[in-house]
Structure 1
Amino acid sequence: MIDFIRQNVLSHFGVDADSAKVSPLGNGHINHTFLVRGIDSEFVLQKINTEVFKTPSALVNNAHKVSQHLQHKAAADEYRLQVVSPELTADGTLFVDLGEQGFWRAINYLPHSHSIDVVGCEADAEMAAKAFGHFSCALTELDAEQLEDVIPNFHHLPGRIELLAQAAASNPQGRLGECQQWLEYVMSQTELLQELVEVEAKLPRRICHNDTKINNMLFDKRDMSSLAIIDLDTCMKGYLMYDFGDMVRTFCSPEEEDSIALDKVQVRESIFGAICKGYLSELGAVLNDDERKSLWLGARVMCLMIGVRFLTDHLNGDVYFQIHHAGHNLERAANQFTLYQSLLDQQDTLSAYLN
């Protein structure tokens, strides 16, 4: 793909292909991401997965509105982090649509940045949670209706379970037998679904990041302080309990989300407490009582829901998430369901941190 980028994409961003260096960047599941270094420019280039993001222009426009708002807040000394913003094309547009050859956009590269995939200590968990809370707090003044839904019903557990049931019924790849136990486990979680219906009806919709994984918060490698919140692709209307829940999902386990060492996959209480402390230090005065009560629910829902999505993709033939070997999505699903069960096993202890 790098040769294709050199020959067909770089010129749209005013970069000389002969002098530029292009290298893969990050380990995202959805888009293809590269670091481009030209003679006098350095930026992140992405090919948007249009099978996942059906309206990629809405994604880019949403991210632009969010970055503009945060830049205004930063100029007024009301936002402490650096802002990820679009790099315009040579024609002054936000993206290049090459049809079957891809939908491409560029964003600024932040030097001195560093990301991690597994949280090692309470201090990092608290710092990252505080940064995500600060990000959400800064966006409370931006009208959520200005943003389009780039993936309708993105965090909708009943819909995700229905899609899983459809994949199991059709079993297009003949994989149902190897994951029957996990399918039955998901279908047994009826009480969670009923609780979710009752709670969501009480919550305000706000602008959410919707993908608060630990590696979407960049550290400044010079002093390991928080530097920036990145990956604004799924910024849209939603419920903050899911942002909190995705932090719990991706911060709390000592194992990466595709680890097959399931005996080591568990929620670390100290990390959970650090998330609560950092997140509520920024958003505690913003959240209403119903939102604060919903955070524990969000933690449980996100662990189960991501497991459901991985399992569905496995049954469908791995058409959504990028995989690196056969059975990768099934391994991810088992990991997430194990983490979900760890939450349930520690419910009384963990939920007390939110009181």
Structure 2
Amino acid sequence: MSVESAAVAAMPLLPADVLAAYQFTPEATVRLFGNGHINRTYLIENSIQKLILQQINTQIFPAPQQLVDNALRIEQHLTVKQQQGLYPLQILRQQARQDGHYLSGEQADLRALAFIDGGRSIEVVETPAQAFAAALTFGQFAAALADFPADELHTVIADFHNLGFRFCQLDDAIAANKAGRLVDCQELVNYCQSQRALVTELEQLCADLPRRVCHNDTKINNMLYSDAEGRGIAAIDLDTCMPGYWLFDFGDMVRTCCSPEPEDSLNPAAVRIRPEIFTALAQGYLQGLAGIITAAERQSLWLGAKVMCLMIGIRFLTDHLNGDCYFAVHRPNHNLQRAENQLRLYLDLLAQQDQLQPLLK
């Protein structure tokens, strides 16, 4: 256990007034829940009900009310679709306090979510069936929101998937070299810089694509999976839902699902794109969006896979050069290792392009 987690464990998890706002007594069971890296999440439980309570990280999300507003708009839209028989998944629902407000705590940074029973989170993709289920779930989520006016959602993180902006951040980190690390990763920096043409390609392609509601964090553990039914039952963690392009959601699935190794693996030789997992992702996502996705959007998905691997690699490399200011690190060169793994995925995509790209056509 880290020093931080030990300190958290020694503190009262939630004050009595916060529990009371959601009709729980101090005798309710409260425990840390999940393994998210941004928000701190609790499960509150008594003999009658369960509730998820999240402490929003205001360093990342400085306007928590915007997250709540976005989630409520999405919840309302999906509820109508569900009532029409057009959305087969369970819906992540915001839970109001007794007084009707949705944020609690001294800093107004706590919000509650109804607990969805009957599913579990998968941390590492083990089979094509799991990958298919995740892609189908996120495809169905996107399809149900295809007629939602995306630009009515708040942009909670500006330039989140702006590749040009991420290259500018890398440029600044190279120029400053404030941690003195450039000499040790110059080759990786040079390779990233050599791929800058993707910025223009992405900008030109997106000019012809419709703006969509995007989840923007389509890791497999943001799907609840039912072992009994063998399918996804809900898309969760809607904090980064914003206007965007479906290519980024598909690309993030490829980036996080296709490697048999974790993002920060110390076995870089094993980091690769598993073609059977890519195939399952393509089949599931396109099935979920059948009849809705345009030809141009289908064409864009391959670029999305490349862009997300490259862009997250650039972000890890930038943070390494800046002295590990953004992503949490647990060992020397942690962000550099993450960056190298992302670039290995990018290179493996390029090597398998003739085999994989036709799956999206």
**Same fold by TM-score greater than 0.5:** yes
* SS of residue matched to 2:90: coil
Cα deviation for residue 165 of structure 1 reads 1.7
* SS of residue matched to 2:15: helix
The runs of 5 or more residues in structure 1 that have no matched partner are none
Q: Which piece of structure 1 moves more, 191-200 or 300-309? A: 191-200
Match of 1:49 among 57, 63, 71: 57
Cα RMSD of the aligned pairs, angstroms, is: 1.8
Equivalent pair of 2:13/2:31 in contact (CA under 8 Å): no
Render the CA deviation track for 1:133-184: whole Å, top value 9, x for unaligned.
Answer: 1100000122112211011111101101111221222233333333333222
Equivalent pair of 1:30/1:320 in contact (CA under 8 Å): no
Of all paired residues, the percent bearing the same amino acid is 47
Q: Residue 209 of structure 2 corresponds to which residue in structure 1? A: 203
Distance 1:21 1:329, change over 3 A: farther
CA distance in 1, matches of 2:14, 2:38: 22
Residue 92 of structure 1 aligns with an amino acid whose one-letter code is G
Residue 137 of structure 2 aligns with an amino acid whose one-letter code is A
Equivalent pair of 2:313/2:342 in contact (CA under 8 Å): yes
Distance 1:87 1:197, change over 3 A: same
CA distance in 1, matches of 2:330, 2:72: 32
Q: Residue 339 of structure 1 corresponds to which residue in structure 2? A: 345
CA distance in 2, matches of 1:319, 1:40: 43
Match of 1:127 among 127, 130, 133: 133
CA distance in 2, matches of 1:199, 1:74: 33
Match of 1:73 among 71, 78, 81: 81
Distance 1:114 1:189, change over 3 A: same
Distance 1:318 1:35, change over 3 A: farther
Cα deviation for residue 354 of structure 1 reads 1.1
Q: Residue 4 of structure 2 corresponds to which residue in structure 1? A: none
Cα deviation for residue 39 of structure 1 reads 4.1
Q: Residue 255 of structure 1 corresponds to which residue in structure 2? A: 261
- The within-5 A match list for 1:1-355 is 1=8, 3-7=11-15, 9-17=18-26, 19-96=27-104, 98-99=106-107, 103-355=109-361
Cα deviation for residue 80 of structure 1 reads 0.6
CA distance in 2, matches of 1:223, 1:108: 21
Residue 188 of structure 1 aligns with an amino acid whose one-letter code is S
Distance 1:315 1:96, change over 3 A: farther
Equivalent pair of 2:118/2:226 in contact (CA under 8 Å): yes
Equivalent pair of 2:39/2:56 in contact (CA under 8 Å): yes
Cα deviation for residue 251 of structure 1 reads 1.4
Residue 114 of structure 1 aligns with an amino acid whose one-letter code is R
Q: Residue 3 of structure 2 corresponds to which residue in structure 1? A: none
Render the CA deviation track for 1:19-50: whole Å, top value 9, x for unaligned.
Answer: 12222222222111222223433111111111
If the length of structure 2 is used for normalisation, what is the TM-score?
A: 0.92
Q: Which piece of structure 1 moves more, 283-292 or 246-255? A: 283-292
Number of positions where the alignment pairs a residue of Structure 1 with one of Structure 2: 352
CA distance in 2, matches of 1:23, 1:328: 29
Equivalent pair of 1:33/1:44 in contact (CA under 8 Å): yes
Render the CA deviation track for 1:247-287: whole Å, top value 9, x for unaligned.
Answer: 11111111111112111111111111111111111213212
Equivalent pair of 1:115/1:216 in contact (CA under 8 Å): yes
If the length of structure 1 is used for normalisation, what is the TM-score?
A: 0.93
Distance 1:124 1:244, change over 3 A: same
CA distance in 1, matches of 2:41, 2:359: 37
CA distance in 2, matches of 1:173, 1:245: 31
Residue 335 of structure 1 aligns with an amino acid whose one-letter code is N
Q: Residue 5 of structure 2 corresponds to which residue in structure 1? A: none
Residue 12 of structure 1 aligns with an amino acid whose one-letter code is A
